[in-house]
Amino acid sequence: MGTTAFVIHVEPKNRSRKDEALRDATARLEEAVGLTAAIHLNVVQALVAPLARPTPGTLLGTGKVEEIAVLARDQEPDVIIVNAHLSPVQQRNLEKAWNSKVLDRTAVILEIFGERAATREGRLQVELAHLNYQRSRLVRSWTHLERQRGGFGFLGGPGESQIESDRRLIAERIVRIKAELEKVKKTRSLGRQARRRVPFPVVALVGYTNAGKSTLFNRLTESEVLAKDLLFATLDPTMRGVKLPQGTRIILSDTVGFIADLPTELVAAFRATLEEVLAADVIVHVRDTAHEETAAQKADVLAVLDELGAADRPMLEVLNKIDLLEAGPARGCSAGTAPNPMERRARALPCRP
């Protein structure tokens, strides 16, 4: 059966009405199950855990923690995925209560990125995000070591010495990775300067993960970039020259997909890559219009672009996967914008206001 997992989506009861209208708890749970499946875990149970007020030590309330503990004792999953951001203390306490390894949403997404990174730059960015995430969780690895009461500095117990040693090693590695990524940033900057001298307009494809950006990129550029029905199939940016029907040449860039609650560690680590979006002349927002949560996904993408400082860039919205819709106008479009045969063959439709 392979490695088994429980998936628990933590649903705050005080979510804003606007957020509730865009995405419900069931959809959030389904996405968490998809993220779990992306790291090759077999989901044996999935449930929504309502949260009235966060508990500092475990996030979830005592009753819900005990309820899940009973389920864990019965089915003995290898790992329990909590679709929320857990503090190191909360993660440690839940592992003790459930007698199982616990991963939060950030850890799962980092795991996916670690598997998919193909280039040296991508691997460096993922490692940087991993190190920043793990640095605050080092204490979890050394709780079995003796600690002396009182004192500080060199008077701590052997566990304290090991933690400080690991923190120093991690800090040194982070400095080296940042230096290497700074070189990548300079190389990209030189590449952008060279493209400006040509000059060809740069068009960046952005969108929610698995919206079909790479498929559209391959169709337009006649390339063979990895395009699969997977979350985060693309991590490393790819650029190709394209000649438009009227003769204009552009440079098209395929970028990493966005997702709701994108971990801050990843936004920081992938900033060098995402600078291609900031430097683009036009941003093409590719939407999976057949997805039930297409409006919520759009809001998430716009939120990330705003965080990157790219919200004011010229943007064209393209509705993808229209062949999966039933007869009628695409979601998010008025009745007057139905696709013509050429657009339908391309399986992408600009949504005009």
DSSP state of 152: -
Between 165 and 156, residue with greater pLDDT: 165
What is the Cα–Cα distance from 260 to 276, expressed in whole angstroms? Answer: 21
Distance CA 99, CA 74 (A): 12
Across the chain, where does the E strand assignment appear?
Answer: 4-12, 42-51, 79-83, 101-104, 202-207, 238-243, 249-254, 282-288, 315-320, 348-350
Closest C-alpha among 46, 63, 36 to residue 9: 46
Closest CA to 93 of 61, 67, 136, 57: 57
From 26-30, 61-65, 151-155, 295-299, the region with the lowest mean pLDDT: 151-155
Quick check: helix, strand or coil at residue 250? strand
What are the residue boundaries of the structural domains of the chain, listed by start? 4-112, 117-178, 200-350
Question: Band of the pLDDT at 27, cuts 50, 70, 90?
Answer: confident
Q: How far is CA 113 from the centre of its chain?
A: 8
Each residue of 250-265: pLDDT tens digit? 989 887 788 888 777 6
pLDDT tens for each residue of 186-226? 877 776 676 666 678 889 999 998 888 888 888 888 876 55
φ/ψ (deg, to 5) at 72 = -65, -40
Distance separating alpha carbons of residues 299 and 34, to the nearest angstrom: 20
Peptide bond into 237 cis (omega under 30): no
Segments of 143-260 assigned E as strands: 202-207, 238-243, 249-254
- Fold topology of 4-112: Rossmann fold (3.40.50)
Residue 137, sorted as left (phi over 0), alpha (psi -120 to 50) or beta, turns out to be alpha
The single-letter code of the amino acid at 30 is E
The model's pTM is 0.74
Question: Nearest Cα to 273, choosing from 189, 216, 207, 212?
Answer: 189
313-334 pLDDT, tens per residue?
899 999 998 888 865 544 554 3
Mean pLDDT of 30-46: 92
Distance in angstroms (rounded) separating the CA atoms of residues 310 and 15? 26
Same fold for the pair 4-112 and 200-350: yes
Alpha carbon distance 61, 315 (integer Å): 44
Helix (H) or strand (E) holding 121: helix 120-135
List 104's β-bridge partners, or say none: 82
For domain 200-350, say whether CATH 3.40.50.720 is its number: no
Residues in contact with 342: Cβ distance below 8 Å, sequence separation at least 6, in sequence order: none
pLDDT by residue (tens digit) across 263-307? 776 776 666 567 778 888 899 999 999 988 899 899 989 988 888
How far, in Å, CA of 248 to CA of 123, rounded?
35
For 75, counting Cβ atoms within 10 Å of its Cβ (0-12 exposed, 13-18 middle, 19+ buried), the class is exposed
